[in-house]
């Protein structure tokens, strides 16, 4: 049985979309790939390639809690959520609680890692590398923080802060969920959670660090460029 390697990644711009429909769509693409894998296992003489996707989306205000997260890290009750026009969703990714909202670029790579490498740890580091390279073009030095996923500024200093959160899930090496880069995000919404369950570090955005509004389309183009380079893929 010869597995057909496919390193083409279909890019899709979803615009502004509620969290649940975007999650449902990821699950739909995941199932499509899992069905292909079942077909390949059962039909060794008729192999089909799996598909890879990179979705970009902005979500209306929502707090999402990962499967290993703690509900007490959501500091807003139901009345407060209604007041700030936010929703709350429990999800099947790793990680704790995070916020998604307008001005934040969310990227969902649905990749069959068997097309690239079968290493979730490396996958997370590569996602971080994409963001590190992207914000470097704006003069921001992104770093990794030991034992904590995502991209950070000033790691090891009292004012260390996270600029990009990450959380993923993989089924038979097919990934869903991904990263959330704070570009022009309204940081007030982070006041209602303990982001990622981390109490001793802050969160920030490109806008806050650069003290100016950042062109979202420009950021998207840079992420796509670095994503293709880091993963050695072709975006189509």
Active site residue 196: yes
Quick one: how far is CA 130 from the chain centroid? Answer: 11
- Alpha-helix runs per DSSP H in 116-190: 120-136
The two beta strands, 8-16 and 52-58, are parallel
Q: Give the CA-trace dihedral at 125, 177, 49, 2, to 10 degrees.
A: 50
Given 29, 196, 206, 233, the catalytic residue? 196
Run of H or E including 30: helix 19-42
What is the rounded CA–CA span in Å between residue 146 and residue 181?
A: 19
- Residues annotated as catalytic are 196
């Amino acid at each position: 049985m010869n597995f057909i390697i496919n390193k083409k990644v279909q890019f899709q711009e979803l615009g502004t979309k509620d969290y649940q429909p975007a999650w449902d769509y990821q699950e739909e693409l995941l199932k499509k790939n899992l069905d292909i894998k079942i077909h390949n296992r059962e039909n060794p003489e008729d192999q089909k390639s799996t598909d890879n996707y990179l979705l970009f989306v902005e979500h209306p205000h929502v707090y999402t809690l990962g499967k290993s997260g703690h509900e007490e890290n959501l500091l807003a009750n139901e009345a407060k959520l209604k007041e700030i026009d936010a929703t709350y969703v429990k999800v099947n990714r790793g990680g704790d609680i995070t916020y998604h909202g307008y001005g934040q670029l969310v990227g969902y790579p649905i990749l069959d890692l068997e097309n690239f490498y079968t290493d979730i740890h490396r996958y997370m580091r590569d996602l971080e590398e994409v963001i590190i390279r992207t914000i470097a073009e704006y003069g921001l030095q992104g770093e990794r923080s030991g034992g904590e996923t995502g991209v950070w500024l000033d790691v090891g200093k009292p004012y260390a802060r996270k600029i990009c959160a990450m959380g993923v899930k993989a089924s038979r090496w097919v990934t869903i969920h991904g990263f959330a880069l704070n570009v022009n995000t309204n940081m007030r919404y982070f006041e209602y959670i303990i982001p990622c369950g981390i109490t001793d570090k802050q969160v920030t955005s490109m806008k806050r660090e650069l003290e100016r509004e950042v062109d979202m389309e420009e950021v998207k183009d840079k992420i796509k460029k670095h994503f293709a380079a880091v993963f050695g893929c072709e975006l189509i």
